[in-house]
Amino acid sequence: MKKHLFIFGVCIFLGMLAAPAHAVDNPYYLSGNIGASLFSNLTLNSPTTQIQQGIVQTNASYAVESAVGRDFDGFRVEVEAGLQQNKTSQIGAINVVSVLLNGYYDFNDPDELSPYVTAGIGYAGVTAVDYVSSSVLGYQVGAGVLIPITNIAAFDIRYRYFGTGTCNFTDNTADFKLAGSSILLGLKFRMR
């Protein structure tokens, strides 16, 4: 299932690369990003006493996102679907499937080099085969820059900090909060 979600995200991203030219005055857009994700090491706590039980070390892996949104003269609102993965030697791969409502503030006109800040909140499904299966609150904050390529497309470079609420092991022996950083590259296209 996770492999299929990753392939789906890559197909959406590649499909956006081949998007036809669109009218400039439409406020709606599509975007896609891909990059590296690194979660902080997981501090495992007892669910009842919150006493630390151990640490799970994580290794960097990938993040894929796609979104549909709307521009409001300097502000943007979008719905984003994402998949992040990190690997551990103790519990295998940790996967996060998220759906977030994001807001953006763009410092310049879309036709110019435009730095931005962003924040979002929504759903995060956190899984590690045989160990973790949690549906929790997810959130993100970040910053980036849009670099115009044409009058309908822009290159997107961004940093993002992502976190979740408390995730539980399936046998209720431990819980943890997930947090980490991503560096992402992508494209934003105005729609017709």
Domain boundaries, the chain: 2-190
Encoded amino acid at 148, one letter: P
Selected from 3.40.50.150, 3.30.110.40, 2.60.40.10, 2.40.160.20, the CATH number assigned to the domain covering 2-190 reads 2.40.160.20
What is the tens place of the pLDDT at every residue in 52-76?
Answer: 999 999 999 999 999 999 999 889 9
Q: According to the model, what pLDDT value does residue 170 have? A: 92
What is the tens place of the pLDDT at every residue in 154-175?
Answer: 999 999 999 999 999 999 899 9
Q: According to the model, what pLDDT value does residue 74 have? A: 86
- Distance, CA of 108 to chain centre: 23
Q: According to the model, what pLDDT value does residue 44 have? A: 95
* pLDDT level of residue 22 (50, 70, 90 thresholds): very low
Give the contacts of 64 (CB within 8 A, at least 6 positions apart). 6, 9, 10, 13, 32, 33, 34, 82, 83, 84
